[in-house]
Amino acid sequence: MVSEKKIQNRIKELVKEIKEHNQKYYDQDLPVITDFEYDTKVKELGYLEENYPHLIFADSPTNKVGGTVSASFQKYKHQVPMLSLANSYSKQELLDFDARVKKTLLKEVNELEDLTYCCELKMDGLAISLIYEQGVLVKGITRGDGKTGEDITENIKMISDIPKQLLSKVDVEVRGEVYLEKDRLIEINKQRTIEGEAEFANARNAAAGTIRQLDSKIVGERELSFYPYFVVAAAEHGLVVQSQMLEWLKQQGFQVNEHYIAKANISQVIAYCEDWEKKRDSLGYEFDGVVVKVEEFKYQELLGTNMKTPKWAIAFKFFEEVANTVLEDVLYQVGRLGTITPVAVLKPVELSGATVERATLHNSDFIEEKGVAINDEVVVKRAAEVIPAVVMVSHRSENRKEIVFPTECPVCGTLLKQEEDNVAIYCPNIKCKGRLKAQLIHVVSRDAFNISGIGDKLIEQMVEQEVVTDWVQLFELDSEKLSSLERMGEKTVTNILSQLEKAKSIGLAKILFATGIKQVGVRAAELLVSSVSSYNDFFSMKVEEFSEIDGIGEKTACLLKDFFESERARELFRYLEEHGFNFEIEKNISGSSLLNKKFVITGSFDKYSRSELTDLIKSHQGIVASSVSKNTDFVVAGDNAGSKLQKAQEFGVQVISESQLEEMIKI
């Protein structure tokens, strides 16, 4: 028999571990174990506390929701606590939940013929509460610790899915989930790489990190989404069941997730959960399970809550699609701004239908947090289009070798640096060959100069043989220099030279993006160009003038000012002008048939590339957005259209082909 002292020590150990994991998940948005492992610890603690109630700690995490409240925001006390959900992972646990519900209710009522459930997808985001007075949005609050949250009203107002005014002039509190679509996560991580910042590990981290930004402009730029799932005191608004409440929210102007089922029995609930577990990658956003709720509000009230969770709801969590393998080595990549990214070299493993041999380790802080070492067995996750990533250590090897982050650049040997407010470690040597290779890859990419024929292998040759020592020297290449490189036939050389000459007329916005100014992506470059009459204006603009441009934040404005004050910038633009680059700012307007119509492009096309379709739409004064929302007018869909097509169908957005677009502008 286990001694009470050992039980007490185990409870103490679990309380400490769970508190640490709560802080990492809720406050730092950096979980270091999987949801399943976390839930296993919580269940073990709950079991021990139930059987040894005299050993319960007063501050046990089983009686507390979420994390802490940040000092960066004002506190706001919830009138009704924001609870979390009990989790389940199996059919049997759902059957047990159904049995508990019926057993409890039969103590209060004689029969349960009308007992049914409503099932909704469990979004992987950040829970918030919205307070409306007379139908007008007045407050946006985070969950916080369940009792007190953070006032994030100004940030909430930047999310287009959240109505600022309801259809009815009612006083109501609506709760729901802020989340980020997969496509947006990919775009944001690309931009963060450009800016020399660490990528977000997943969509939830990105959403949570965004909503806690002190600059609301950043929130607007990242295009977060929102789905509501709960109305506080719903009965006061004449609502009787959960699914009726969802319809009422839709009528008030909210986007409601349509993938719910109403008035289901437990067999239908289980079938729904199993079906969506198979289809978990079919939508354009992350959802990690299904929330099962008792439909009837009268029964929800009778069932009540405990200190942390409602007794009338449970989450069915999906097992994450992961694989275990051995971390054999770590390589270090140098980005074009010098950022050093550790890459795990893995023993090859099959995951999501592909063989995975490399995975990101994000940055030095991530390695330290996870306690990863060479020769350890690790868990690797690969979700949709996001590159594989190491999630955690599953088994510590006896011959584990600590990962020591380099102090010198792995390419040029320069002493590495780290900015005070940035986790990224970088090489400051602007002549570093690693930086140059990454910069050249960026320069020839589709969104920059769009030079086909110059791939990674050719760039490797040019840099190593010092044919090019600065990216602008691409435009000094001639037949002799190119022909001296391996596998460069006459036709290939001619094509590359033609592409380089053509690139000189791409326009100022793409030149700005290609230049590699920190924090200036494609959209920011377009916004900058649309605000000036000549590129020379940039050299005399103040920080305040940059930040006044809609979509340009204060940090980006400071970086722009620093760049255009530098001698490098003046030399660069002087060089480009001398070599025949066209800096004229052409509006390139061919017509106005698409004036102010908002388009999203997805898939591949026969006649146009996606960038050509973008230019075509803009030339007729249309607007091209990166993600589908309720404000999108048309989605132009080609072959192999992805999650954006699904989103268009959810929102009822009109889907057109490239030929139908041509009809609209009468080509």
DSSP state of 535: G
In order of 213, 432, 435, 500, 614, the CA distances from 220 in angstroms are 11, 35, 31, 36, 22
Instruction: Please give the structure tokens belonging to residue 485.
Output: 């490189």
Q: CA 625 to CA 641: how far, in whole Å?
A: 16
Phi, psi of 71 (to 5 degrees): -75, -10
Question: Rounded to an integer, what distance in angstroms lies between the CA atom of residue 464 and that of residue 445?
Answer: 20
DSSP secondary-structure letter at 631?
Answer: T
**H or E element, residue 272:** helix 266-278
Nearest one of 36, 61, 271 to 146, comparing CA atoms: 61
Asked if 370 and 390 touch (Cβ cutoff 8 Å), the reply is yes
Q: Are 636 and 616 in contact (CB under 8 A)?
A: no
The DSSP annotation for 335-400 comes to -TT-BEEEEEEEEEEEETTEEEEEEE---HHHHHHHT-EET-EEEEE--TTSPPEEEEEEE--TT-
Q: Which residues are catalytic?
A: 122
What is the Cα 420 distance to its own chain's centre? 24
| 297: helix, strand or coil | helix
Contact of 152 with 73, CB cutoff 8 Å: yes
Place of tokens 């309801």: 166
Q: Kindly compute the dihedral angle of the four CA atoms of residues 56, 62, 63, 64, in this order, to the nearest 10 degrees.
A: 130
How far lies 640's CA from each of 384, 475, 604, 605, in Å? Answer: 14, 36, 7, 9
Buried b / exposed e over 235-249, threshold 16 CB at 10 Å, is eebebebbbbbbebb
- Kindly state the helix (H) or strand (E) to which residue 177 belongs, with its residue range: strand 172-179
Cα distance between residue 614 and residue 629, in whole Å: 18
Instruction: For 512, list phi and psi in degrees, rounded to 5.
Output: -60, -45
d(CA 464, CA 487): 16
- Tell me the Ramachandran region of residue 383: left when phi exceeds 0, alpha when psi lies from -120 to 50, beta otherwise: beta
According to DSSP, the residues that pair with 461 across neighbouring strands are none
Nearest to 29 by CA among 226, 159, 213, 285: 213
Distance (Å, whole) CA 247 – CA 277: 25
C-beta atoms surrounding 421 within 10 Å: 6
